[in-house]
Structure 1
């Protein structure tokens, strides 16, 4: 189901918000870049790293079932990666940590109607833990993050970059702009899934650059030029700045050297 301009879409933004962005564009860019600098470095050194693929798929499934946004999903994955990166978690509690990461992300990204209840998240894993353990762990995790979770992800930047995803030069007589937007939506969604499935994307690239690369790769998939002057002005990235991650996204066979994995890893 395509939900391009609904409140459940990563691309949805109310008209008043668009007006604010236009008026305060430079200030907005400065704020989100400053938040990007506050992100915690990630080395994927958790002893539970082998569980990550299963946990990400679980989060994706719950977000689809609960109709949660891409921003919520990506923030939950980021919180999970960072918390696991800095703690040794016994395997029996990994799902508890995952659910609490999703709960925290949902409280930050979603409205009250869509925030899942603890009982609902616990039911999704067969009521494995006492409810009080969720509440206790939530406090522990928030204290670890110093009560600051305004970490931007690639999904957040996509949300912002979409205002310039198509330029006037892209519109030709034989192209339907609505169809083009829907097709771009599908491409971008696929790439957003791709970057959370492979941990090295977050490890190697800042989220603003990843988002720019996703836009470039999606435009190229649609037969458009990879970059435009409008995107350069909005993102402060030139095409050469995002060329490497764009190549990695599109080929899916690029290698990255990772000391933690001890091998050259396919992204």
Structure 2
């Protein structure tokens, strides 16, 4: 999103954050009316698999899934076309969020094992055509904040030496920060797997990921004043989203056990 790396550590962090919050107020509406909505999870997973293969940043992955959601919401397309659309969304998002040398190359994409299973061969002309269609659909505006764009800003103060763990002072501050980052990232990925999270503002989803992580880590207070002040969200506002995140995690664990 044309932001400098680790913008949340810079002097302009508060200004950039406010610009992101303002921009999310103008995000396109999402109705969840795609005829292929039942396939949405499969294609979101496909984007995640390919982005992990190329080690793309979370912002690129989340933007790609968001572009896919918006496109599916507006057009009735075939399953075969959705494969091409999903990968085009990922390429477009990576061009917007990543350095040029990290954008997946066509020949490497075609060599992936999942491509043969989809019976799909990408061509330069086909990708350019699809990327142009996507850009026209979104009026050439890819400045679309996702939860991944907010999470690091919130994580910068998600754990503090004044927090309590199970009612006791923190013993290992840095270790707890690492666990916090891992849990928050996990919840962030969970939010990609169900379009229900599009009901919430991206900044709220990011805050709920931090809140759910603090619950899992038994940190208290669950939502300290510093996080309320930074995010602008009271605990009561986060509960519906945080509960859905925790329920999704429980459902995943139950399915793995069965």
Q: Same fold by TM (over 0.5)?
A: yes
Over residues 56-80 of structure 1, what are the superposed CA-to-partner deviations in whole Å (9 max), with x where a residue is unaligned?
1111111111111111111100000
Quickly say closer, same or farther: Cα 1:227–1:246, change in 2 above 3 A.
same
What does 1:151-166 align with in structure 2 at a 5 Å threshold?
151-166=144-159
More helix by share: 2
Q: Mark the runs of 5 or more structure 1 residues left unpaired by the alignment.
A: 1-11, 255-267
Matched, 1:216 2:204: no
Quickly say closer, same or farther: Cα 1:251–1:129, change in 2 above 3 A.
closer
Match of 1:73 in 2: 61
Find the partner of 1:19 among 10, 13, 17: 10
Distance in 1 between residues matched to 2:80 and 2:215, nearest whole Å? 44
Please give the TM-score of this superposition, normalised by the length of structure 1. 0.82
Q: CA deviation at 1:34?
A: 1.4
Distance in 2 between residues matched to 1:105 and 1:179, nearest whole Å? 32
Distance in 1 between residues matched to 2:80 and 2:32, nearest whole Å? 20
Distance in 2 between residues matched to 1:253 and 1:192, nearest whole Å? 11
Match of 1:262 in 2: none
What is the alpha-carbon root mean square deviation over aligned residues?
Answer: 2.2
Find the partner of 1:32 among 20, 30, 35: 20
Contact between 2:163 and 2:169, CA under 8 Å: does it hold in 1? no
Match of 1:245 in 2: 241
Q: How many residues align?
A: 238
Please give the TM-score of this superposition, normalised by the length of structure 2. 0.85
